[in-house]
């Protein structure tokens, strides 16, 4: 079946079935997420703190 929007969740053949994925099933996502940085930035965080975080990220990126 073609991979259209919502597949496999909107496929009538899968109705009532629970979809489960293993890392091996989606290697591209595993690769991407393995290189992803997630960091919470509070809305009211002081600008100085944000600048320090940006500088730290820039230094880490240069080291790669």
pTM (2 decimals)?
0.46
pLDDT of residue 41: 84
Mean pLDDT per block of 10 residues along the chain (64 residues) reads 68 80 82 85 91 93 90
Distances (CA, A) of 38 to 10, 24, 34: 30, 22, 11
Q: How far apart are CA 42 and CA 60, in angstroms?
A: 21
Question: Max alpha carbon distance in the chain (Å)?
Answer: 54
Helix, strand and coil in the chain, % to nearest 5:
50, 0, 50
Question: Are 49 and 59 spatial neighbours (Cβ–Cβ below 8 Å)?
Answer: no
């Amino acid at each position: 079946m073609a991979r259209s929007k919502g597949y496999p969740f909107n496929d009538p053949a899968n109705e009532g079935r629970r979809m489960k994925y293993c890392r091996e099933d989606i290697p591209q996502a595993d690769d991407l997420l393995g290189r992803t940085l997630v960091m919470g930035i509070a809305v009211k965080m002081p600008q100085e703190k944000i600048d320090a975080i940006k500088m730290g990220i820039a230094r880490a990126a240069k080291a790669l």
